Amino acid sequence: MTRKYFGTDGIRGRVGEPPIDAEFMLKLGWATGRVLGNGDSTRVVIGKDTRISGYMFESALEAGLSAAGVDIRLLGPMPTPAIAYLTRTLHACAGIVISASHNPYHDNGIKFFSAEGSKLDDEVEAAIEAELEKPMVTVPSDRLGKAERMEDARGRYIEFCKSTVPSSLSLRGMKIVVDCANGATYHVAPSVLDELNAEVIAIGVEPDGLNINEGCGSTHPARLREEVLKQGADLGIALDGDGDRLIMVDHQGEEVDGDELLFIIANSRREAGCLDGPVVGTLMSNLGLEHALQQQSVEFLRARVGDRYVMELLRHHGGMLGGESSGHIICLDRTTTGDGMVSALQVLAAMVERGVSLHELKQGMKKYPQRMINVPLTRPIDVDASDPIQAAVKASEAVLNGRGRVLLRPSGTEPLIRVMVEGEDEELVCQQAQQLAEVVRQAVVQKQETV
């Protein structure tokens, strides 16, 4: 389906540039109210992260929804997964998140959740886009929606996070550094850990509207690593700006990425006898994850890159665990969407249950060396239809001889071809990646010359 505004995860862009401006957000609120408001529930919840433009877009969406006759609950700064949870438990007809996730402050975007706390289906997004093309008509004054600020949203979500692990779980004696990326978890994550009796050192908890994700959080774990080593902490937790991604650091300062975290949670579920269905990763998931799960007789499937596609495959195959290397992990046996804090708690519970460190827990998976090279495009090129590129891919696969894999894919957000090679031998992996990238570059040049 061709969509004008919606991407793979809502609508996103630079603030002030259409469609990420106040005028569009007013119309979007109205269109959303028209499509999702119904007789049984005409309440929409709105949450946001800490970037400064959230104030402007919150007000615009509120006005649009009111004009469509829909009531609004304003949650203030809250993690994206908290909005999913509260949409469901408040019996709202939809949840709206104002966030650009791990992007810098000058970007922003809108994500939606259905009444069930899940991402919207393509058909619903198409219906909203269709309404956006119509003239905006305000309902009569006696049917305008009312707005109310919800004061206990934070406390409700903290209690939910704690409910995803055994009530007997205690983190007493554990020193944890948590980096909240100056984002939406700044007033949530430290409290969750503190209430579970951990000694908490919080960083990235001073949002000013402009510093979200700036040199901190899951996309910049160096600061967390330094603090873990400096404090002699047992581990570190890094969340992104809207709280749906997670990266951890063990007591030795070694990063534990989404693939390793997914393995730890899956293996813990398997040992407890409660792992249903396959584990789902993506085309970019490390080959070591696939092999480690195979050794445990756990089926592993690969989806296209993006949590939307991971979720689709999980639902289709009856799975409960999936995720991406970036740390977007979905635990469907605990919640309805990717949740960084909930995922962190599953790892902590596994550590306590087995009485081992995070460093020990990740040893069951051996990461394969992986090399990624981005080749810029001046014009679109179909790598599958290029004989020289396909010949080079087959040659690389022959060299790897079953001990690695090759992946070429166009970026979904930039004019790039991503060339990825991984395998057991790091030197060989780098060599093959360079050779493949050069073949792609030559094909791009040839395409340019023939146009």
Question: Is 386 an active-site residue?
Answer: no
Q: Parallel, antiparallel, or unpaired: how do β-strands 279-282 and 321-323 relate?
A: parallel
Nearest to 105 by CA among 49, 58, 61: 49
Strands 175-179 and 199-203: parallel
Q: Which of 101, 118, 191, 386 is catalytic?
A: 101
Strand order in the sheet with 370-376: 370-376, 416-423, 404-410
Cβ burial 351-382 (10 Å sphere, 16+ → b, else e):
bbeeeeebbebbeebebbbbbebebebeeebe
**Distance (Å, rounded) from C-alpha 349 to C-alpha 352?**
5
Lateral strand order in the sheet of 255-256: 199-203, 175-179, 235-239, 246-250, 255-256
Residues with a catalytic annotation lie at 101
